Amino acid sequence: MSRNPEIMSDRSATAERASPGDTVEGMDVLSDAVTGMRTGLPHASRTRLRAPWGVRFRPQQGAGFHVMLRGRCVLVPVRGEPLELTPGDMVFLPRELGHGIADAITTPLAEAFAGGGDGPETEMLCGAYRLDQARLHPLLTELPDVMRIPATDALRGAIDLLDRELGAAPGPGSDAAAAALLDVLLLYMLRAWYESRPGDETTGWGAALRDPQIMEALRAMHQRPEHPWTVQSLAALAGLSRTAFAQRFAATVGSPPLTYLTWWRMTRAARLLRDSDLPLRSVADRTGYATEFAFAKAFKREYGTAPGRYRGMSDAG
């Protein structure tokens, strides 16, 4: 059976998922985190409105972003204070709890973008990513509900390119270009956020991403989840004693090394089941289980259902 994602034909851009059979060799942990959580195709569009205008975004299983190109607006989260956005501002909402945006705080919010009036014009890029909120990567769970992203050179470059591809007259290959840019943009947003964190952090993923010894172990687990890793072998890879490694890993990542390894193996297994036709035996091999039975038992413990049934549910959805 074919599992090729559809590509939208309108001005919204969709990003194709990477082939689940591809190796993760060379991918960093941030890329894996995004890839492992995705459950569908992200999209983006370019919007131009004249005041007064306002729209409400309902809660959804995913994350969203807004980039201000021209004009100004107010973002109204379900929790916290309204946030004024001006040209160049970018916000990322890692857990789409619902929010509103409008030309002014007093403007009523509609259920969809409307034409607006004859007031000042606002132009923005808006996008959304479908993520499995039940299995968010730990590095996303610690993020605030609304993040004002620092405007790095890399981000500005990606935004300019995406804006061009979503323009009124997209050129040949625009669908593919915009699809790739959406994935790049998400990674750049997360990178910019974590790179802006205080350098003296000792706990949390901000600290983990700056710790070369912990990152050495994380990359090994991500690149070779099928390997029979132990705390001792991971500690040796990181150049630390077993006790020092285990304590530092738990303090930064938020869980013991082998607990995180199991979480990553199951996340990857779910993606393989959802996005590929690999037999269960092969999925077990690629996620570090000696037998199909051992894999099925671990998977059911994690997801509450057998892997074959999970794959059927994914097909139906």
Residue 13 pLDDT exceeds 90 = no
Q: Which segments of the chain belong to CATH 1.10.10.60?
A: 205-316
Higher pLDDT, residue 206 or 226: 226
Instruction: Summarize the confidence of residues 152-181 as an average pLDDT.
Output: 83
pLDDT at 231 over 90: yes
What's the confidence (pLDDT) of residue 7?
25
Q: What is the CA radius of gyration of the chain?
A: 21
Mean pLDDT on 164-193: 82
pLDDT at 24 over 70: no
* pLDDT top residue among 30 and 107: 107
Instruction: Count CB neighbours of 25 within 10 A.
Output: 9
* The CATH fold of domain 205-316: Arc Repressor Mutant, subunit A (1.10.10)
The predicted structure's pLDDT at residue 245: 98
Residue with tokens 């996303």: 140
Note the pLDDT of residue 115.
67
First CA to last CA distance, the chain: 15
How many percent of the chain have pLDDT more than 90?
A: 58
pLDDT, averaged across the chain: 85
What is the CATH code for 13-195?
2.60.120.280
Mean pLDDT for the stretch of residues 127-137: 81
Supply the pLDDT for residue 26: 28
* Strand-pair partners of 66: 91, 126
What's the distance, CA 47 to chain centroid? Answer: 23
For residue 115, which of 191, 173, 53, 38 has the smallest C-alpha distance?
53
Q: Which pLDDT score, from 0 to 100, does residue 153 have?
A: 92
Arithmetic mean of pLDDT, 60-78:
94
pLDDT of residue 72 exceeding 50: yes
> What 3-state DSSP class applies to 144?
coil
pLDDT score of 103 more than 80: yes
pLDDT attached to residue 41:
72
pLDDT in tens, 186-207: 989 998 998 888 777 778 888 8
Contact present, 73 and 82 (Cβ < 8 Å): no
pLDDT confidence band for 168 (50 / 70 / 90): low
Q: For residue 77, say if its preceding peptide bond is cis, omega within 30 degrees of 0.
A: no
Query: What confidence score (pLDDT) does residue 96 get?
Result: 87
User: Given this model, what pLDDT does residue 197 score?
Assistant: 81
Please state, in angstroms and rounded to a whole number, the distance separating the CA atoms of residues 283 and 295.
Answer: 8
The model's pTM is 0.81
Q: Is the pLDDT of residue 106 over 50?
A: yes
Residue 169 banded pLDDT, cuts 50, 70, 90: low
Is the pLDDT score of 87 beyond 50?
A: yes
Range scoring the smallest mean pLDDT among 121-125, 192-196, 292-296: 192-196
Of the candidates 287, 309, 305, the residue with the CA atom closest to the CA atom of residue 226? 287
Domain with CATH 2.60.120.280 in the chain: 13-195
